[in-house]
Chain A
Amino acid sequence: MTVGERGRLAERPRRSRFLLIVGLFAVAGLQPAAAEEPKAGVVIDVNAGKRTLYPIAVPTSLEGDSGVAKEISTVASFDLNVAGVFKVLEPRSFLADLRAEGIGIDPQKWKDVGAFGVIKYRATATDIEFRLYEVSKGANASLTKTYSRKQSTRQIVHLWCNEVVKFYTGEPGFFGSKIAFTVKGKGSNAVYAMDFDGANAFKISNNSSTNILPAYSPSGGQIAYTSFMRNNPDLYVGPAGGGRPKKLSSQRGMNTGAAWSPDGSKIALTLSKDGNAEIYVISASDGSVIKRITNDKSIDTSPAWSPDGSQLAFVSDRNGGPQIFVVSSAGGTPRQISFNGSYNTTPAWSPRPGKQVIAYTTRDGGRYDIVTLDLQTKAMTRITQNEGNNEEPSFSPNGRAIAFARTGQGVFIANADGTGKAIKVWGGSATGVDWGPAPKD
Chain B
Amino acid sequence: MSFKDGEMHVMAAFGAAFLSAALFVPTVWMADARADHTPVLEEMEAIEASIAVKKAPAMQPQKKTQAKPAVVKPDGVSRDETKVVDDKSCKQDSDCPAGRVCVKSVCKLPDKVAKTETDPLGKFRRPTDDETPTGKPTTEVGTFNDNERGFAEETKGHPFFQKVARDFVENFEYPKILAGESATGCIHLLADGKIAKFKVDPKSGEATLDDAVERALKKMQTLRASSPEAPPIELLKQATTRWICFNTGKLQRAE
| B245 partner, pick from A44, A321, A342, beta carbons under 8 A | A44
Interfacial chain A residues near B241, Cβ < 8 Å: 33, 36, 38-39
Interface residues of A in 284-306 (CB under 8 A from B): 299
Docked-complex contact B60 and A40, CB < 8 angstroms = no
- Tell whether A41 pairs with B215 under 8 Å between CB atoms, given A46-B169, A385-B62: no
**Interface residues of A, count at CB 8 A:** 68
Residues of B in contact with A, size category: 35 or more
Docked-complex contact A33 and B165, CB < 8 angstroms = no
| A253 partner, pick from B38, B169, B172, beta carbons under 8 A | B38
Docked-complex contact B249 and A45, CB < 8 angstroms = yes
Interfacial chain A residues near B196, Cβ < 8 Å: 34
Distance in angstroms between the alpha carbons of A69 and B249 in the assembled complex = 42
Distance in angstroms between the alpha carbons of A189 and B50 in the assembled complex = 32
Docked-complex contact A41 and B190, CB < 8 angstroms = no
- Tell whether A381 pairs with B61 under 8 Å between CB atoms, given A38-B242, A49-B172, A52-B174: yes
Docked-complex contact B247 and A43, CB < 8 angstroms = yes
Q: Which of A114, A210, A320, A365 has the largest count of B CB atoms less than 10 A from its CB? A: A320
A233 contacts chain B at the CB level, 8 A cutoff: yes
B40 contacts chain A at the CB level, 8 A cutoff: yes
| B238 partner, pick from A42, A137, A169, A232, beta carbons under 8 A | A42
Docked-complex contact A41 and B255, CB < 8 angstroms = no
Which A residue's beta carbon lies closest to that of B208?
A136
Which A residue's beta carbon lies closest to that of B196?
A34
Interfacial chain A residues near B39, Cβ < 8 Å: 253
- Tell whether A41 pairs with B243 under 8 Å between CB atoms, given A46-B249, A85-B176: yes
B253 to chain A, nearest CB (A): 9
Distance in angstroms between the alpha carbons of A272 and B38 in the assembled complex = 9
Interface residues of B in 107-140 (CB under 8 A from A): none
Interface residues of A in 377-417 (CB under 8 A from B): 380-385, 417
Interfacial chain B residues near A228, Cβ < 8 Å: 41-42
Residues of B within 8 A of A (CB): 35, 38-42, 44, 46, 48-51, 58, 60-64, 157, 161, 164-165, 168-170, 172-178, 184, 186, 188, 190-191, 196, 207-208, 210-212, 215-216, 238, 240-249, 251, 254-255
Residues of A within 8 A of B (CB): 32-34, 36, 38-55, 85, 111, 114, 116, 134-137, 168-169, 210, 228, 231-233, 252-254, 256, 272, 275, 299, 317, 319-322, 339-343, 362, 364-365, 369, 371, 380-385, 417-419
